[in-house]
């Protein structure tokens, strides 16, 4: 039974089914350990919320994190952008086995004629960064960013290894969307995903909604300082090509720009709402995003080589991470997921039809999740005896 909760130790708002009380406990423990400022967590089963919690502060002024507070979730946005491209594939208007240049002819220059659409979806284009350093202000100009990627020479042979496209994956996906559909990716996402589902997640936030956005408590180190220090490495070149320190998200320019690899703004509830359609086979509450076969194909492992940017052997499906057999994120083989810089995450479990989502404003330093998110995932599966 869902119930409102107020505890003497920490006020936790929202509801949690009794069966999932360990998730509430894990969420509260993050605050009691002084690891949070403000945060939200959500779990759905069969598309229904069994956990929908929020607590803490929206900023250092002490404003409370409310039910409708939203926050920049960085690369958890990639799950939303990839869903949009998968929807194009589901409709038969894009083929992952075809060259990107078939849809975007200019991209085929300088040795990129062999880059396939599936390489975009699996971080294997050789274009993990921009060919020259770009400022955040330039990043807001999609045409400029797409033109830079079209003209660049790849940093390694496309298709031979993954290298995390921290920002550029979204630019590539957005330009493919524009060339094929005519809409921007943010517009497609709003029209075809969030509006039908009633999900409060934005790739390009209306200025009128800026008052709801939580302020990020950014880590001391910038994003380019959390990778190996070799200045000539692919990792260093990737992050040096677009230096971000987390404060950009406080500006209207960042929030309103469509940055599909890292600029999404939402909360755990909205992440789980979108993801629940995937976890339930492509359809939820009468809204169909894609056929089950499209999702099943996304679960097929595309590469498990060492990622040239992250320095890890990442098991990539098409558009998402998939479970690692030695260190599984969940007990279910058919799991899709991704994390955002600072700690946000979204997990889709097709075996159990479960989603687990987390969004916060106190950022940890890592790119691939942290203990707060992992504890919520572990608690969710403990609740169902897995």
Enumerate the active-site residues: 75
Which residue carries 């990442």 as its tokens? Answer: 314
| CB of 39 closer than 8 Å to CB of 359 | yes
* CA gap 123, 328 in Å, rounded: 21
* CA gap 110, 154 in Å, rounded: 8
| CB of 162 closer than 8 Å to CB of 122 | yes
Chain mean position to CA 207: 22
347 sits in which H/E element: strand 345-349
| CB of 55 closer than 8 Å to CB of 38 | yes
Helix axis angle, 168-181 to 77-90, nearest 10°: 30
| CB of 70 closer than 8 Å to CB of 77 | no
**Both tokens assigned to 46:** 């069969």
Which residue carries 């403990």 as its tokens? Answer: 382
| CB of 144 closer than 8 Å to CB of 138 | yes
* CA gap 329, 377 in Å, rounded: 8
């Amino acid at each position: 039974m869902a119930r409102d909760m107020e505890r003497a130790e920490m006020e936790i708002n929202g509801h949690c089914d009794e069966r999932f009380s360990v998730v509430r406990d894990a969420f509260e423990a993050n605050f009691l350990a002084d690891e949070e400022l403000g945060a939200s967590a959500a779990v759905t089963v069969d598309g229904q919320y069994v956990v929908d919690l929020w607590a803490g502060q929206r900023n250092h002024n002490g404003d409370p994190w409310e039910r409708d507070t939203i926050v920049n979730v960085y690369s958890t946005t990639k799950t939303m952008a990839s869903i949009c491209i998968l929807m194009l594939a589901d409709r038969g208007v894009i083929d992952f086995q075809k060259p990107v240049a078939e849809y975007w002819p200019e991209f085929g220059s300088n040795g990129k004629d062999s880059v396939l659409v599936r390489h975009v979806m699996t971080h294997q284009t050789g274009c993990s960064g921009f060919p020259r350093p770009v400022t955040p202000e330039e990043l807001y100009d999609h045409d400029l960013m797409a033109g830079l990627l079209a003209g660049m020479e790849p940093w390694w042979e496309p298709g031979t290894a993954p290298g995390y496209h921290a920002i550029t994956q979204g630019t590539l996906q957005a330009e493919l969307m524009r060339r094929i559909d005519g809409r921007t990716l943010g517009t497609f996402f709003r029209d075809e995903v969030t509006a039908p589902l009633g999900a409060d997640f934005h790739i390009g936030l209306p200025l009128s909604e800026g008052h709801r956005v939580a302020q990020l408590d950014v880590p001391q180190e910038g994003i380019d300082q959390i990778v190996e220090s070799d200045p000539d490495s692919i990792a260093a070149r990737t992050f040096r090509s677009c230096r971000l320190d987390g404060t950009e998200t406080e500006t209207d320019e960042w929030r309103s720009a469509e940055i599909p690899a890292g600029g999404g703004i939402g909360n755990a509830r909205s992440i789980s709402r979108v993801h629940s359609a995937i976890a339930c086979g492509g359809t939820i509450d009468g809204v169909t995003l894609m056929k089950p076969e499209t999702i099943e194909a996304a679960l097929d492992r595309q590469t498990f080589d060492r990622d040239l940017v992250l320095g890890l052997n990442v098991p990539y499906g098409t558009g998402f991470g998939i479970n690692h057999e030695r260190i599984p994120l969940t007990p279910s083989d058919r799991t899709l997921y991704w994390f955002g810089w600072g700690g946000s995450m979204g997990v889709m479990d097709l075996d159990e039809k479960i989603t687990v989502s987390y969004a916060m404003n106190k950022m940890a330093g890592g790119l691939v999740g942290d203990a707060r998110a992992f504890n919520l995932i572990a608690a969710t599966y403990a609740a169902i005896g897995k």
